[in-house]
C-alpha cells in the first residue's frame, strides 16, 4: 500500500453502447442478470382455530395454519444445460456466444405450507405452569437450502418441487415453570431463617422433540451431461434406517440405490427418500430469587443447555458413491452452562 491504490480498470464502452458478448473475458465469467420485469412476490397466510377452556385451568387450541407464496423470486441458472446429454451445447448462450459459464437470474415461483397446530396450556397456579405444543406440518418449495440458493434442475424445473430442506413433519415442545412452595408468600415456611434458605427457588425449562429433516440425496452429474443441473441416483424403495453412527456403521441401507442410465435423471426425489436423525433436547434453568428490601430484588440463575447431554446428530452423508454416503460423521449442541445474576430496584 506504500504506492497507493492501483489505477482503476475501466471498461471501454463502444459508441453504440453495445458490448460484444463474444469477448473472451465475458464468455468465461459468471454474472447476474436482473430481468426488467422482476418484482416482489407475495405471501398469503391463513388460519382457522378453535379454542376451548377445560377443567383444571387448562386451555386447548387447535388450528390449521397455512400459507402460499406467489411469484417468490428464486435464483435460477439461465445458462444451465436444458437437455440431458447435450453438455455445453445445451447451454442457451453457448451456440451463439460460446459462453459456458453460469448466469444467475431470478424467476417467480411458488411455495406452500400446511400444518395442524395444537396447544395445551396450564395457567400458572400453585407454583406450576405448563405450555404444551405440537405441530404436524409440511413445507414445499423449488429451491435447495434457503432463499439464497437456486433451483437444482433448470432443465426440468418441476423436478425440483419438493419438501423444503428445513421441513420437519413432527414437532413437540413442552415448556414448564415450577416454584417451590416454601418461603415468603408461599404455602409453607413463609417466615423465619429457613424460609430464606428454601424460598425463592424456581425450576424451568424446554423439552423439544422433533422428527428429522430430509436427506437430500445427490450424486455427480458427470454422466448426466447437463452442466448446471443436479443429478440424483435411482432408488428402488425406501431405505431401511439402520441407526448406525460413525465410519463403518451406516445410518441407512445404501443397497437400494443405483446409478441411472447415462443422459437421464435418476428417479430419487429431492428430499423425498428418507429423513435424517430426529432431535431431542432438554434445556433447564434453576434460579434463586432474593428480596433485598426497599423494593430491591436479586436473582441468581444457572442455565443448562442440553441438560442430558444427548447427542444431536447431523444428517448422514447424502452423495451417492461418496466416501461417507449414508454415514453420520458429526453432531452438534453439546451440553453447556451459563451463570447469571441481576439486581432490580
- The 10s digit of each residue's pLDDT in 140-182 is 999 876 667 889 999 999 999 999 999 999 999 999 999 888 7
Q: How far apart are CA 45 and CA 137, in angstroms?
A: 14
Report d(CA 191, CA 162) in Å as an integer.
62
Check: CB of residue 327 under 8 Å from CB of residue 215. no
Distance CA 301, CA 154 (A): 53
What pLDDT shows up at residue 67?
A: 96
Q: Copy the grid coordinates of residue 147.
A: 432463499
H helix runs in the chain, sequence order: 24-27, 94-97, 193-198
Asked if residue 154 lies in contact with residue 78, where contact means CB atoms within 8 angstroms, the answer is yes
Question: Does residue 57 form part of some domain?
Answer: yes
Cell of 122: 396450564
pLDDT tens figures, 92-148: 999 988 899 999 999 999 999 999 999 999 998 888 999 999 999 999 999 876 667
Bridge partners for 313 per DSSP: 331
Cα(308)–Cα(280) distance, integer angstroms: 10
Residue 157 domain-assigned (yes or no): yes
Residue 79 maps to a domain: no
- The whole-number pLDDT of residue 7 equals 78
Identify whether the C-beta of residue 108 lies closer than 8 Å to the C-beta of residue 73. Answer: yes
Q: Is 55 domain-assigned?
A: yes
Domain that holds residue 123: 45-68+113-344
CB neighbour list of residue 48: distance below 8 Å, 6 or more residues apart: 63, 64
Determine, yes or no, domain membership for 290. yes
User: pTM for the complete prediction?
Assistant: 0.84
pLDDT of residue 188: 65
Which alpha helices (H) appear in 34-146, and where do they start and end?
Answer: 94-97
Distance separating alpha carbons of residues 93 and 21, to the nearest angstrom: 10
220 in any annotated domain: yes
| Distance (Å, whole) CA 40 – CA 48 | 27
Is residue 21 one of the residues assigned to a domain? no
* Residue 9 pLDDT: 66
Is 265 a member of any domain? yes
Residue ranges of alpha helices (H) inside 103-220 are: 193-198
Cβ 258 vs Cβ 293: under 8 Å:
no
Average pLDDT, the chain: 91
Q: Which residue has the cell 442478470?
A: 33
Asked if residue 290 lies in contact with residue 328, where contact means CB atoms within 8 angstroms, the answer is no
How many independent structural domains does the chain possess? 1
Please give the pLDDT value at position 146. Answer: 63
pLDDT < 50: residue spans in the chain = none
Amino acid at each position: 500500500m506504500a504506492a497507493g491504490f492501483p489505477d482503476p480498470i475501466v471498461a471501454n464502452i463502444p459508441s453504440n453502447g453495445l458490448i460484444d458478448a463474444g469477448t473472451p473475458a465475458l464468455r468465461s465469467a459468471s454474472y447476474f442478470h436482473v430481468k426488467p420485469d422482476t418484482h416482489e412476490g407475495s405471501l398469503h397466510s391463513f388460519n382457522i382455530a378453535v379454542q376451548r377452556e377445560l377443567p383444571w385451568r387448562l386451555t386447548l387450541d387447535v388450528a390449521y395454519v397455512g400459507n402460499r407464496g406467489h411469484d417468490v423470486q428464486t435464483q435460477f441458472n439461465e445458462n444451465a444445460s436444458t437437455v440431458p446429454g447435450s453438455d455445453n451445447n445445451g447451454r442457451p448462450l453457448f451456440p451463439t456466444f460460446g459462453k459456458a459459464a453460469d448466469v444467475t437470474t431470478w424467476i417467480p415461483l411458488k411455495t406452500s405450507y400446511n400444518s395442524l397446530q395444537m396447544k395445551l396450556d396450564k395457567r400458572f397456579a400453585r407454583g406450576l405452569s405448563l405450555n404444551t405444543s405440537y405441530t404436524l406440518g409440511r413445507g414445499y418449495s423449488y429451491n435447495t437450502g434457503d432463499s439464497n440458493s437456486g433451483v437444482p434442475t433448470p432443465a426440468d424445473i418441476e423436478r425440483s418441487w419438493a419438501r423444503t430442506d428445513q421441513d420437519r413433519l413432527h414437532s413437540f415442545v413442552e415448556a414448564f415453570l415450577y416454584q417451590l412452595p416454601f418461603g415468603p408468600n408461599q404455602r409453607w415456611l413463609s417466615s423465619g431463617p429457613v424460609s430464606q434458605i428454601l424460598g425463592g427457588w424456581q425450576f424451568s425449562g424446554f423439552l423439544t422433540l422433533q422428527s428429522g429433516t430430509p436427506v437430500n440425496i445427490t450424486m455427480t452429474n458427470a454422466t448426466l451431461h447437463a452442466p448446471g443441473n443436479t443429478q440424483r441416483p435411482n432408488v428402488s424403495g425406501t431405505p431401511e434406517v439402520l441407526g448406525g453412527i460413525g465410519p463403518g456403521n451406516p445410518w441407512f441401507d445404501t443397497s437400494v440405490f443405483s446409478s441411472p442410465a447415462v443422459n437421464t435423471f435418476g428417479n430419487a426425489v429431492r428430499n423425498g427418500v428418507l429423513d435424517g436423525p430426529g432431535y431431542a433436547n432438554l434445556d433447564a434453568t434453576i434460579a434463586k430469587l432474593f428480596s433485598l428490601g426497599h423494593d430491591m430484588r436479586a436473582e441468581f440463575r444457572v442455565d443448562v443447555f442440553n441438560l442430558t447431554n444427548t447427542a444431536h446428530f447431523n444428517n448422514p452423508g447424502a452423495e451417492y458413491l461418496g466416501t461417507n454416503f449414508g454415514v453420520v460423521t458429526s453432531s452438534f449442541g453439546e451440553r453447556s452452562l451459563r451463570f447469571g445474576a441481576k439486581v432490580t430496584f
